[in-house]
Chain A
């Protein structure tokens, strides 16, 4: 009886499968409509503004553009300042991110889930609030303010404040990238390295880092992009001192407020260019990490058979 039923089942199954394939393909009108809507939205919201930034910046010619960037001392300083603040914030988050990801991916401890949640906090807190928190802590009337000014240390309205604000806002990037990668890879290789005589340092550099390097780079890229573009938190702690505490985004806004559209767009185009480069590198890295995660999943599944 069973075999008879089986023989019947096959011809019935075939047209059924074909029906699914047809159902999956939506009508032509719907497909064209949706695609057109997507293209329209992307054009209006992304392509036109980005192109416009470069158009406005270069409207009066390359010479003027160059002069707007290099000729203005404060603009030049803002580029320099961003090139200091962003890398320092990235390095701080790199250290924190690896430590946090390691703790969360490798150990089970009380407060682990709270730590996981806290890492995401900077994503949900408004950057302005983050900046205000720093002012409340380190400002002249803040908790540590009097102590700091006694010892001649300036944090608010100075570069350290900018770095702190940027670090806070970009805190989750590296850790968020690393936790899934480290969990997928597991700790077996690290244990193997120890059993083969490696010390903790050798294990980290020879086994852990090569395994997580693409995820790590990806985290750094994202973190850096956000660090360079950060506005809100930095705005609160900077004090808007031209030539001292204005990073690129702050300088763009300042120039714009002063009706210096050419200068504003010139600097904005530099920021946009950095963003485009970041995007390009990000896409490359995404391909790498995806491949790596897929490979990480492979050896974990042992070959079985013949049982």
Chain B
């Protein structure tokens, strides 16, 4: 079922949680609402679920306006951040709850719960109580419970937030596979950009109750719409330079910037991701910045090098491949030359 959110606003007292937000969730997609805390992403999810009422705007599920319908009639599966499992019920009864309140026959409950227990790989644990389960197991019970009512939409609030790193990684790829298996329109909230990009088909970046950018992960990552998105997608090097006559200038580095053909020189911000910087021992002709190696972290799939460009008083994060790292044989204190392969330039709005 597709979901479309139209011009939703929501205030809590004087705080604006959502400011005229519109959003399309195509049928069968897995969409991530990504943003820092307080950006309104959880509020938006709860409005879609019917757990909060928007001040204005509407929620449309498959051509049907459900804004005025309460949560229990929306047939939406909701997985809560801290799972909200019924502590006095066994795993079996937790999963069966939605079917029990709908007065479905016992035989059907029995078979569907058994089926779901297999799906979430918890068979054999149906008699346990939530307090006897690990975090990852609780998460999967919460998911099975939400799926038991055969929802048309699955909503997950920070589904992996409360888990440790290893379990989180496992559950991510599992959720991705599960989504392909059941192919249900799903929306999840996260503040972790890596998680959003790894799991989702569609990413919506939110900030201060507004949508900053929406699109497929690669588009959002490669073409950030604005400085906020660029910044939020993490770990980016920021430089301050100028633009003039269709060129963007940062020290000795100069790139084309046809979006600003004007004569008047204006300040601009340059964003370069760590893996888009190249390190050389000597200037190789290309425009480059001189920097000193401060610290090296070779552990992991990439070698992380921290540089200090003293001309700009600026710290730089650079990521290079392990092969390149061995080739360069970098040591702390080395003087190197850094050149960007790709630069994104944002010119602040004209202020008159």
Contact = CB atoms under 8 A, between A and B. Distances in A.
B88 A210 contact: yes
Given A191-B51, A299-B85, A299-B87, A198 B72 contact: yes
B166 interface: yes
Q: Among the interface residues B85, B97, B163, which one has the most CB atoms of the partner chain A within 10 A?
A: B97
A197 B87 contact: no
A196 B164 contact: no
Contacts of B97: 193, 196, 198, 206
A299 to B, nearest CB: 7
B161 interface: yes
Contacts, number: 91
Interface stretch (B31-39, B76-84, B208-216, B252-260): B76-84
A299 B83 contact: yes
A295 B87 CA distance: 9
Interface string B156-170: 000001111110100
Nearest to A185: B87
Contacts of A111: none
Nearest to A199: B72
A197 B71 CA distance: 7
Interface residues of B, number: 39
Q: Among the interface residues A188, A189, A196, which one has the most CB atoms of the partner chain B within 10 A?
A: A196
Contacts of A298: 131
Contacts of B72: 194-199
Contact of B86 (A197, A207, A296, A302): A207
Contacts of B82: 188, 299-300, 302
Contacts of A188: 80, 82, 84
Contacts of B87: 189, 211, 295-296, 299
Contacts of B135: 302-303
A43 interface: no
B84 A192 contact: yes
B102 interface: yes
B21 interface: no
Nearest to A209: B88
A27 interface: no
Contacts of A191: 51, 80, 84
Nearest to B169: A306
Nearest to B83: A299
The 3 lowest CB-CB distance pairs between A and B, nearest first, are A306-B165, A302-B162, A196-B98
22 contacts: A188-B80, A189-B84, A189-B86, A192-B84, A195-B51, A195-B72, A195-B78, A196-B101, A196-B146, A197-B72, A198-B97, A199-B101, A207-B86, A210-B86, A211-B87, A296-B87, A298-B131, A299-B131, A302-B135, A302-B162, A303-B163, A303-B164
